[in-house]
Structure formats: C-alpha cells, structure tokens
Structure 1
Amino acid sequence: MPDLDGFNSAPPEELRPLLAACLAVPRWVDAVLAGRPYASVDELVAAGDRAAQLDDDEVLAAIAAHPRIGERAAHDGVAARWSAEEQSGAGAAADRLRAANRAYEDRFGHGYLVCATGLSADRVLVDLTSRLANSPEDELRVANRELAAIAALRLRKALRPTTREGADRWASS
C-alpha cells in the first residue's frame, strides 16, 4: 500500500489497478495519474472528485463494475473487499434489497448504486425507494455523485490503511 510519497512516485502501471478499484473509469484513472504529484491526500481526493464528472456511458460502465447492494462481488480483489466493507450494514435486509434492486433495474435498466458506508439496510432501502421517482437522466447524475463519493472514500482507504490486511492490498491488487 503506498503512502502519498509512494503514490506520487510509483510507475503508472502499478497504480492503475488500485485506481480502477476506486472508480472503474479509464479516463478518471488517467486524470488522477496525470495530476501527480499531490501535496496531500485531500488534494488527491479533490482531483479525483473533479475528474469524476462522468458522461452517461462512463457512469453505466462504473455501475456495472459494482456488485448489487446487498450482494457479494463475483470476483475477488481489492474492489470486492472494499465493496463488502462498504455494504456491511446492508446484510440484514437482503431479501428486501434484492426485491428493491429488481424494481430499480426494471425502472432504469442498470443497477442501483449508493455510497453505503455507514448506512443501515433500512436507510439504503429508503434511498433506493425515493430514487425510483427520479427521471432516468436525473438518476444518472445522482449515481455519478455516488460514484464520486465511493471513489473519494476508496482513495482515502488506499492511502491510509487501518489494518495489516489493508497494507497488503496494494501489493496484491
């Protein structure tokens, strides 16, 4: 796991998998890499946020890279582990979340996405249900904001691991 100095000096090809785990949009990854060196983690996160103004195709591709809320990722790796951590409050209402996900996907044609860190299953269900009233265009903008929030959270996790496992993530991504 790089610290900020390591992030600033690492070869781009070593950082691409880590950044793609934060937000699976190649243009975003390139923009974050191009902004190096960063003076602080806050500066890095701000640059990531600015670059996270995605077009509709990028939003849809990034959504597709996330497991459905309340479900486990189909693959293993840093993004799958982060997703499981971020959704830890959603497990209690898995059946209700699956039904709500189906309604959302029927309405919008893509998966529901929320920055679920710290949210209970009931709060996620309230959010999902309220977002069903959005127009498809507005919902893509909401999803874009959620993707940016997830990317910011993951950038901070990537550079500030809280466990030994976290310190090993970068090396195995």
Structure 2
Amino acid sequence: MTSASVPRGLARFNALEESAALAALHEVCASTAWARPLLAGRPYPTLDALYAAADAATSALTAADLDEAMAGHPPIGGPRPGDPASAREQSGMTSAPDRLKAEMRELNLAYQEKFGHVFLVCATGRTGEQLRDAARQRLGNTPERERETVRTELGRINRVRLARLAGAEDRQPRHP
C-alpha cells in the first residue's frame, strides 16, 4: 500500500510523537485502556485497520475502563463549554424546542439514577426526538443489557471521532 492511499489525516496521526498521538486518542475516548492498544498498533495502513483496532479495544474494556470512557462524555443536551466535538455531535438537541430539551434533562436524570452513569448514545446525525426516544427505550433495559448497549454506542462514537481524526468524515457510520 502506498502512502498516497492513506488518508492525509491518518498519515498525520501515524506520524505523531507518542505523547501527541495519545492525547489525540484521548480526545476520541477518555479510556486509557482503549487508547494504549491503538497507540501500539500504529502505523495504520487504512481507516478500516484503525476501526478494527478501535473495535477490538472497545470490546476488551473492563467495567472500570468503560466507566472511565463514559466519564469523558457530557449528558445529551448539555455539551461541555469549549468542547466542539460534543457540541457538533449533539447538534440535534441544539435546535430542539425547549420542551424537548427539558424532557431530555429529566430522562438524563432518570437514566443516571437507574444506571449510575451518563446516558451514552452516538448522537451524530440524530434529531432531538430520536435522542429522546432512545433514552426512553433504554430506560427499560436491565443494567446488564444497558452496559452492553453502552459499549456498542461507545464504539460508534469512537468511530465517528476517529474518522474526523483521520480526515475521513465522509466514512462516518450512519444511523438507521
């Protein structure tokens, strides 16, 4: 494979010094246990190879690692000030009517009370109504099922962010 076929952003990521690459990976996912194997796997010849490594790392996260990853995510409808990634990803809630935003705040609280962590969902491309409906539906999950749903959603978020890191936003996953 020639370097010309590697997306420019992926080539830049591959060439970063270790500390800068680790910092970039922590922008994608707050879990050190997730970032370390991705760092060790460089250089990646393709975006698909990077995705495969990310998926494997997400699957291998322990409960504590998953908690660390979730701690890096603000609630839906409340992106952290100065966090453009969360604001961009949650743009479906930005334009939502006030009543929907209030309902989402209540659902976030109910979810956190039931499961003990933030409601984590890949919000990219979803409307405020879709996000609300997802929260409502997932409140019916058992804690065990919800943990696996969170792992799946984290993997989706990580892929979206890795695509952005690699300069391949056109290859981001889409939601049904």
Counterpart of 2:68 (choices 52, 55, 61) is 61
* Correspondence 1:23-38 to 2 at 5 A: 23-38=29-44
Task: Considering Cα pairs closer than 8 Å and 6+ residues apart, tell me whether 1 or 2 has the greater RCO.
Answer: 1
Number of residue pairs the alignment of both structures matches = 157
Q: CA deviation at 1:64?
A: 1.4
Structure 2 counterpart SS, 1:7: helix
State yes or no: 1:148 paired with 2:151.
no
Identical amino acids, percent of aligned pairs: 36
TM-score, scaled relative to structure 1: 0.86
Structure 2 counterpart SS, 1:3: helix
**Counterpart in 2 of 1:19?**
25
Structure 2 counterpart SS, 1:52: helix
Question: Which of structure 1's runs of 4+ aligned residues deviate more than 3 A?
Answer: none
- Map Cα deviations across residues 19-65 of structure 1 (whole Å, 9 max, x no partner): 01111110111100111111111211121111111211111221111
Counterpart of 2:107 (choices 100, 103, 125) is 100
Distance in 1, Cα, partners of 2:79 & 2:29? 18
**Conserved 8 A contact 2:90-2:124:** yes
**Counterpart in 1 of 2:4?**
none
**Counterpart in 2 of 1:5?**
11
Distance in 2, Cα, partners of 1:13 & 1:158? 16
Letter aligned with residue 19 of structure 1:
L
Structure 1 residue runs without a partner (length 5+): 163-173
* Correspondence 1:62-81 to 2 at 5 A: 62-74=69-81, 76=82, 80-81=83-84
Q: CA deviation at 1:5?
A: 2.1
